[in-house]
Amino acid sequence: MDRLVLVTGATGYVGGRLCHRLENLGWKLRLLVRRPENLSARVGRSAEAVAGDLLEPVTLGPAFEGVDSAFYLVHSMGSSGDFEERDREAARNFAAAAKQAKVRRVIYLGGLGRGDGLSRHLRSRQEVGSILRSHGLTVLELRASIVLGSGSLSFELIRALVERLPFMVTPRWVEVRAQPIAIDDLLDYLVEALNVPLQSSRIYEIGGADRVSYGDLMREYARQRGLRRVMVRVPFLTPRLSSLWLGLVTPIYARVGRKLIESIRHPTVVEDSSALNDFRVRPRGMSEAIAAAIRNEDREFAETRWFDAFSSAGEAPEGVGSRFGNRIVDSRSIVTDVPPDRAFAPIRRIGGTNGWYACGFLWRLRGLLDLLVGGVGTRRGRPAGDGLRIGDALDFWRVEAFEPDRLLRLRAEMKLPGRAWLEFEVQPAPGGARIRQTAVYDPRGLAGLSYWYLLYPVHRIVFAAMLRGIVRASQAS
């Protein structure tokens, strides 16, 4: 596809996923970002990252040269101060540059909602669409409600609340109706918007198959995660008080979460179903969207190379270095002066009578405790010899991924309030090899979080000693 497509907001949740989708479909992309160097390593050959700032119009001209269609996927929801004026200024600058470059079509993702009393956030989103149209551009505006996908603000808020709170006091706005859409369905709409017949600017309201509330979403997420949650509705928690309470429970989402709560005081449902006539997309319902979010996160996790991830982001500190969705990640590494095949040799022999290279008593105690609660313990041992295959049992672990002299990923089969993995990866390094050991835990509910943090002091000692033991064994082999 020879037409050049400009994407703004390429570093955001929707924009980043849209870029990957368009690249896979063969579109030629230009990505407008403030710092291209932070994005260049994550885009393919068909995408070009260029420097530009929507609040500085003099930087925009080169980005729009030769552009056929442009996606406007930016907003200032997470900013402090007057985000509305910032959104107005950015929209005006974008529209002027697009008009000057004779861009054929602008595709804008706005917010769903009608009537008086819309929140400042939703009013701003819809005002941006009006500003784009007022410059004489042909604008296809998609108005969406809650976006469900691993990493989306709404989904992560739901996850954080349900995972951490067995008992929830919920205000009235939790039962306000919305029409959530799965991230994959939203991406389908955005991609198809490039080619849908359009004579003039048009607004389409899009949503999933179900009209539900945040309460329904929380109950369904809890059901799919196997969590029992009690929700008691009270009349006196205003959006303002709710946002303050949200800041205590999920501080990482406090600022944008407050604006999100203010946006759901009124229904955000599709009232014009024209999109179902003009687009081929047939959106899925709430249950399937949540299941897809969890399933996609599992797939993305399975495909993650922790060595590459930490290297591209800068070396993480020892211990808990990041979160991957709901998962807690403990990753640490050591460089040894032996080649990669020798560095991997102790990893290939790990478990069973060979042990875990440190704290043998604690490993045996953990196996005994697992037996006492009905688990498999460590009695299964490991396969004979020093070879491993995917699917092999290894004490209370199962081999999930194995690449000779490079990678071993184990999935825990012990009794746990959650899921756990232990991964070893070896990469060449100057003078030898780097061994990275990563423990990943997916806690289920408050019990799972408590388990991790109560035992983390012990895990920290064991994981650090085990990695040092592997290095010693590689040097002695």
How many CB atoms sit inside 10 A of residue 37's CB? Answer: 9
Distance, CA of 32 to CA of 19 (rounded, Å): 12
Give the per-residue pLDDT at 254. 54
Residue 71 has pLDDT above 80, yes or no: yes
398 shares a domain with 470: yes
Give the residue from 258, 278, 298 where a domain finishes. 298
Residue 443 has pLDDT above 50, yes or no: yes
Instruction: Tell me how far apart the terminal alpha carbons of the chain are, to the nearest angstrom.
Output: 55
Query: Please, what is the average pLDDT of the chain?
Result: 87
Distance, CA of 380 to CA of 294 (rounded, Å): 30
Q: Which of these, 442, 438, 376, 443, lies nearest to 408 by C-alpha position?
A: 438
Q: Which of these, 3, 6, 105, 107, lies nearest to 48 by C-alpha position?
A: 6
235 shares a domain with 319: no
More confident residue, 168 or 434: 434
Residue 319 has pLDDT above 60, yes or no: no
Total of domains in the chain: 2
Contacts for 43 with CB less than 8 Å, ≥ 6 apart: 19, 23, 29, 31, 49
CA separation, residue 209 to residues 67, 251, 283 (Å): 34, 32, 6
pLDDT confidence band for 64 (50 / 70 / 90): very high
pLDDT confidence band for 301 (50 / 70 / 90): confident
Give the per-residue pLDDT at 324. 74
Give the per-residue pLDDT at 89. 94
Distance, CA of 137 to CA of 23 (rounded, Å): 25
**Percentage of the chain modeled with pLDDT above 70:** 86
Distance, CA of 75 to CA of 63 (rounded, Å): 19
pLDDT confidence band for 312 (50 / 70 / 90): very low
Contacts for 377 with CB less than 8 Å, ≥ 6 apart: 367, 368, 370, 371, 395, 396, 414
Contacts for 311 with CB less than 8 Å, ≥ 6 apart: none
**Which region among 284-293, 307-316, 412-421, 433-442 has the lowest average model confidence (pLDDT)?**
307-316
157 shares a domain with 9: yes
pLDDT confidence band for 412 (50 / 70 / 90): very high
Distance, CA of 402 to CA of 389 (rounded, Å): 7
Give the per-residue pLDDT at 288. 97
Helix (H) or strand (E) run with residue 461 in it: helix 445-476
255 shares a domain with 357: no
**Span 336-357, average pLDDT:** 93
Question: pTM (2 decimals)?
Answer: 0.82
**Span 304-327, average pLDDT:** 59
Q: Which of these, 200, 473, 170, lies nearest to 334 by C-alpha position?
A: 473
Distance, CA of 197 to CA of 199 (rounded, Å): 7
pLDDT confidence band for 315 (50 / 70 / 90): very low
Residue 129 has pLDDT above 70, yes or no: yes
The 10s digit of each residue's pLDDT in 321-335 is 567 778 888 889 999
Domain that holds residue 181: 4-298
199 shares a domain with 179: yes
Looking up residue 149, the CATH number of its domain turns out to be 3.40.50.720
Residue 63 has pLDDT above 60, yes or no: yes
Give the per-residue pLDDT at 110. 93
**Span 15-26, average pLDDT:** 92
309 shares a domain with 281: no
190 shares a domain with 137: yes
The 10s digit of each residue's pLDDT in 362-371 is 999 999 999 9
Give the residue from 298, 320, 344 where a domain finishes. 298
Residue 216 has pLDDT above 90, yes or no: yes
Residue 388 has pLDDT above 80, yes or no: yes
Q: Which of these, 231, 111, 255, lies nearest to 178 by C-alpha position?
A: 111
pLDDT confidence band for 40 (50 / 70 / 90): low
Q: Which of these, 23, 50, 28, 55, lies nearest to 38 by C-alpha position?
A: 50
Q: Which of these, 4, 19, 27, lies nearest to 102 by C-alpha position?
A: 4
211 shares a domain with 78: yes
Give the per-residue pLDDT at 46. 78
Residue 435 has pLDDT above 80, yes or no: yes
Give the residue from 275, 298, 321 where a domain finishes. 298
Distance, CA of 110 to CA of 122 (rounded, Å): 8
Alpha-carbon dihedral sign for residues 250, 252, 255, 261: negative
224 shares a domain with 334: no
454 shares a domain with 352: yes
Looking up residue 428, the CATH number of its domain turns out to be 3.30.530.20
**The most confident of 25-34, 77-86, 302-311, by mean pLDDT:** 25-34
Indicate the residue type of 288. Answer: E
334 shares a domain with 278: no
311 shares a domain with 273: no
Contacts for 454 with CB less than 8 Å, ≥ 6 apart: none
**Span 133-142, average pLDDT:** 95
Distance, CA of 458 to CA of 417 (rounded, Å): 17
